[in-house]
Structures are given as C-alpha cells and as structure tokens.
Amino acid sequence: MKRAVVAGGAGFIGSHLCEYLLSKDISVVCIDNLLTGKIENIEHLIKKSKHFKFVEHDISEPIKITGKIDYILDFASPASPVDYLKFPIETLKVGSIGVYNTLNLTKDKNAVFIIASTSEVYGDPLVHPQNEAYWGNVNPIGIRSVYDEAKRFAEAITMAYYRVYKLDTKIVRIFNTFGPKMQLQDGRVVPNFIYQALKGESITVYGNGTQTRSFCYVSDLVDGIYKLLISNSHEPVNLGNPTEMTILEFAKAIKKLTNSKSEIVFKDLPQDDPKQRKPDISRAKKMLGWQPQITLEEGLKYTISWFQEKLKTKNANL
Ligand code: UDP
C-alpha cells in the first residue's frame, strides 16, 4: 500500500484530499496544527479508517515520521484573506519554513512532492486570463503579501529542490475553490454569501462588485491535484474553473438559489483586492487531460444543502 503525508489535512482542501487518497487505497498521515483546520473535517476518518492517522503538529517545526512515504502533499496554510490577515506571521512561516521542512522530508524519504500554490501569485493581474507563464503583479509589502509572497517563496524553494536535489516536485496553482467543509464564517465570499442568504442577513458585496472571480467545485479540484501528483510535470499548473463572473452577479446567483429575501449591500473594498481572476487551464487540459466537470450551479446546490444541514445542527461551528 502506498503511503501519503498530507500537511494541512484537516483544512478544507486538505481534508477532501485525505478522503480522495484513502479512496485510492493510499494510506494517509495527516499533519495539522489546527490553527485554521478543524478536527471535525477528519473525525469520520479518524474513527473509521485504519489507514488514516492524525498527527497534531505545526510543520514550521521539524517533522519526524518513521517508515516509508511515497507522497507528500503540502496544503498547510491559512488560505482565507480574513485568516491570513489574522495570522500574518504564521502564514509567512508555514509558507517558508514549513515548506522547507516538508521538502527536506521529501528528500529524506525520496517521495513525490506537491505544494499547494495559488492564483494569488499573480497578484492583481495585468494579464487576463492568467496563464502559468505570467509572472504576476504582487504588492510585496501590502496586507495580502504575507500569503502571496509566502506562496511565491514556496514555489521558488520547490523549484530549487527540484533543480539541486532532482526531487520529483509538483506545483499546483489553485484558483478560488468552494464546497462542503468550508468554514461557515471563514470570511471568504462563498461561505459569507451563502450564510448571509440563508440567515436572511444583508449580503455584503465589497466595492462595487465589478471585480471578477471564477469558482471551482472541490471534487474537480481534488481530482486535478491527484492527476498532477501522478504526472511527470514539474512546472506550475493552474487548476480552477474558467467560468468567470462579477461578485455582484455571484451575490445575485446565491440569492436566487437560496430563495433568499436578503438585500445586497455594498461595503469597502479590501486593500489590494484583485480586480479580475480567471484561470487559463490549457496546460492542465493538455498535460493532465483535466477540466472541471461540475457546473457552478450544481456545485452551489451541493454546497448550499451542506450549509443548510450545518446550520441545523446544534453544534454548528460558527
Ligand atoms: N467579497 C465580497 N464580500 C464578502 C467576501 C468577499 O464582496 O463578504 C469579495 C472580495 O472582496 C473579493 C471576492 O469577493 O473580491 C473573493 O473574495 P475571497 O475572500 O473569497 O477570496 P479572494 O479571491 O479575494 O482570495
């Protein structure tokens, strides 16, 4: 049986990855310090799967794991703008020292490595849609830089380990992703709007809502990550859904799908909020034969029902 380490395995994407790997008969060691990850995301795996092991640990501290490891997936980092602004130093540390530690573990174990990078490496992009050849437009000292620059460093050190030690490394640039297990109030637009619409609260559009995003359903993303993990690629690969819409259109779509009477209100636009974002996924299509299968509407329906269930349970983690 192959064995994988998933750093950040109790997070939104990390926990979906743990489930996916187990479904492929790969045993999983999940490492998470639970700063933004939640034990409830993996509780069912801890209880039910003998091939799943949880280790509470901060990967910014040295990592020791005995036995062979075939794959190391580094998905450890706060990822919501609200979270990384709340934990700026932790975000910088996990994207730098943390990745240094997971890469050294990869070297010791002669494993295959994948780092979760992000569309944020493109900053407020001047090229649209964004392809992997674009170097980005990031404010190095702005409030978002703790995440953007940490991820740019993470890509740089990954490529250095690939070149110097000939490690088998992969870089996935993840665009906006949504689905079950997002925290109801992690501050990102998808949970915010769904939560507000379901509770009948005002839907808060930042700025005038003309900024664009493209949203990918999590099962599509995880499928793409696995395809990349087992591929021969070493260059960064964008994964995301190229269906682009404005945030105001998105607010209206959520209102309609939830039959909500919430009003849409406008709030200040956060500093350095990217004006437009849409992945060019030609590379993923060509190299991995991957493209999203779930439409935005379908994905939102699944996510809304999941949030409805969550809101019903007494211990909803609000
Ligand atoms: N946004 C918004 N209302 C909210 C939360 C976010 O209008 O309640 C906007 C935010 O300013 C950004 C977009 O939605 O333009 C996506 O924000 P998110 O925090 O989900 O992630 P980002 O793509 O900025 O990393």
Query: Over the stretch 268-296, which tens digit does the pLDDT of each residue have?
Result: 999 999 999 999 999 999 999 999 999 99
Q: Is residue 206 lining ligand 1, measured as CB closer than 6 Å?
A: yes
Output the pLDDT for position 185: 83
Ligand 1 site, residue 79, Cβ cutoff 6 A: no
Write the CB contacts of 305 (distance below 8 Å, at least 6 apart in sequence).
Answer: none
Q: Is 217 a catalytic residue?
A: no
Q: Which residues of the chain have pLDDT under 50?
A: 316-318
Distance 143 CA to ligand 1 centre (A): 15
Distance 132 CA to ligand 1 centre (A): 23
Identify the CA nearest to 122 among candidates 271, 246, 280: 280
Instruction: Say if CB 207 and CB 271 are below 8 A apart.
Output: no
pLDDT of residue 313: 83
With tokens 């849609």, the residue in question is 129
Which of 71, 147, 161, 195 is flagged as catalytic?
147
Q: Three-state SS for 79?
A: coil
Q: Is 189 in the pocket of ligand 1 (CB under 6 A)?
A: yes
In this structure, what are the phi and psi dihedrals at residue 14, rounded to the nearest 5 degrees?
-55, -45
Judge if the beta carbon of residue 111 lies within 6 A of ligand 1.
no
- Judge if the beta carbon of residue 205 lies within 6 A of ligand 1: yes
Q: Are 183 and 177 in contact (CB under 8 A)?
A: no
Tens digits of per-residue pLDDT, 156-189?
999 999 999 999 999 999 999 999 999 988 899 9
pTM for this predicted structure: 0.97
Spatial separation of the C-alpha atoms in residues 105 and 64, rounded to whole Å: 8
- Span from the CA of 147 to the centroid of ligand 1 (angstroms): 15
CA-nearest residue, atom 21 of ligand 1? 188
| CA 193 to ligand 1: nearest atom | 8
**pLDDT for 315:** 53
Return the ligand 1 atom nearest residue 80 CA.
19
Instruction: Report the atom number in ligand 1 closest to the C-alpha of 176.
Output: 23
CA 29, distance to chain mean position in Å, is: 19
